[in-house]
A and B are shown apart, each in its own frame.
Chain A
Amino acid sequence: MTTSIVCLIERLKMKIAIASGKGGTGKTTVATNLAKYLSENRKVVLVDLDVEEPNSGLFLNGSLMNQKEMFKKIPNWESENCTLCGKCQSVCNFNAIMKLGENIMVFPELCHSCYACSELCPTQSLPMIPMKMGMLTEYKVEQLGFVGSKLDIGQEQAVPLIAQTLDYVDEMYSDDYLKLYDAPPGTSCPVIEATKDADFIFLVTEPTPFGLHDMKLAVETMRELKKPMAVIINRYGIGDAEVEAYCKVEGIDIIANFPNQRYIAELYSQGKLIYPHVPEFKAELLKAADYCKHLVKEN
């Protein structure tokens, strides 16, 4: 392949989200190892969007590039011109603002930042002000870019932080970066937010009844979002062959089978990347990496 074609390929944008229905299947292991490996030869940024319990950063030792407090907007009552008409309370669908006697009370943790109360207030007595919801950190790990956000304890909504983290990445990293997202587990709003912008989904599962059950939910979710996807099996060799049978029937590619080994679990427990130490793991990682390259080419 000539250099010019390589350059062309590298300029094609691609966002891959690494997701799973069930927690603890190895999403972070796949994301960190794949991102680090791919970054040896091309521009890659890994984004940890599991903002409730972010773990990717524990496996990557880099130098801190940026640290930024993240805010959501909430209404702040200014009593001076307020006529206590109660419009704010009546338009809020989340019970986040209430008229109590001569006061207007705001419950920030319930606020979805829709601006309705603020902009519909006849006396402009509810300007929106920033409230801290978490922290974004950005690292450089040799060639790899890494951005991750952490939700403050007591904040209940992950979605706004996920959305703002993605905005930050889009602003800071040009389209010639391959963007890998470490998505939160489950199938509800945080996962939707973390995957709806992705071009392709890798679903990480384990070959067990729990793994299969939750992977089916994840497959349905991604079909709802009309996302193309492929499956990566972690802890391959444990459990049964039902995940493979399901993928075959559904026509979903299985792109790598990471082996089940106690040594891998031990390396993980120490916060180490796996592929520099386990050749069988690296062989499977190469398959996943090739699949990424093939996706970028197709795109």
Chain B
Amino acid sequence: MKEIVIISGKGGTGKTSLTASFAMLAGQTAVIADCDVDAADMHLLLKPERIFEEDFYSGVAAVIDQDKCIQCGKCQEICRFNAIDNSTGQYLVSNLNCEGCGYCGHVCPVGAIEMIEQNVGKCYISKTKADNKMVHAGLKIGADNSGKLVAKVKHEAKASAEKDGKEYIIVDGSPGIGCPVVSSLSGADFVVFVTEPTVSGIHDLERVYQLVKKFQIPSGCIINKADLNEKVSKDIEKFLADNEIIHLTNLPYDESFTTAMTKGQTIVEDKTSPITASIEQCWQDLKIILEK
């Protein structure tokens, strides 16, 4: 079983559209994981039907028992996150600011502070129109710990792939370089970067590559909208060659990605599009690379 994680650093490069395309092409051989839990969009293309869902709890937040509170203010004094407010006359915790460190509970002289586990979202297992299972999640608004929810999604995807003897786990990774993407990358066999030839595309690719390098995961890259700026495209190709990143393919700047999305489809469902052939070839190449 091989785990492929698709990431981009920068948003809007076509990462999710390409991940969903690979999911269509892989069909029954793969389990799909949507680890972009902040802005999970893959379900809009893969039309999953839920077969299982569960609440996900992670982290804690402080709650002050007003009957016990003696208004000494110690909790507010030590809180480094400005999470305790007494402007109303009562000491109250702002859930949005509370980091869940629990320090206040340790200093409260009357034991009025309890740390309550937080329901941060839901995790789903579904069946997609590509006839594969997909693990995805919905993070509650403003919830912390998206990194832990990402870890949960990956864990469930792995368990499902092992149980059903699937060959691949295809993961739509998170943006950025922080904790969600670190969670997305852990345990991956191969990383696919999706980038675009723009000053921000190459900048973000270089940063997220530094992170992947720390994990020592082999990687390849798809340059989307490659004809938008030939100079930057060449710069990216040089960067790939210098860092032993496999240059998987170039795709053109083409609005048919958006047209397909508007119809709730992946681009590879349009058999007449030349892009479909390129993505199919790319998936075949990826499978060969993963054999090695």
Contact = CB atoms under 8 A, between A and B. Distances in A.
Contacts of A58: 199-200, 203
A113 B79 CA distance: 10
Interface string B1-29: 00000000111110010000000000000
B100 A154 contact: no
A23 B201 CA distance: 12
Nearest to B44: A209
Nearest to B225: A265
A262 B96 CA distance: 40
Interface of A: 21-25, 28, 52-53, 55, 58-59, 91, 93-94, 112-116, 119-120, 151, 153-158, 184-190, 192, 196, 208-210, 213-214, 217, 220-221, 224-225, 238-240, 262, 265-266, 268-271
Contacts of B147: 156
Contact of A53 (B38, B142, B176, B199): B176
Contact of B144 (A113, A116, A189, A266): A189
- The 6 lowest CB-CB distance pairs between A and B, nearest first, are A24-B12, A23-B11, A186-B38, A114-B101, A24-B11, A52-B176
B49 to A, nearest CB: 18
Interface residues of B, number: 60
Most buried by B among A24, A112, A120: A24
Contacts of B199: 55, 58-59, 269-271
Contacts of B200: 28, 53, 55, 58, 268, 271
B186 to A, nearest CB: 12
A265 B78 contact: no
B123 to A, nearest CB: 16
Q: Secondary structure at chain A's binding surface: helix, strand, loop or mixed? A: loop
A188 B144 contact: yes
Contact of B142 (A187, A213, A262, A269): A187
B125 interface: no
Contacts of A266: 228-229
B262 A24 contact: no
B101 A210 contact: no
Given A192-B96, A220-B141, A153 B44 contact: no
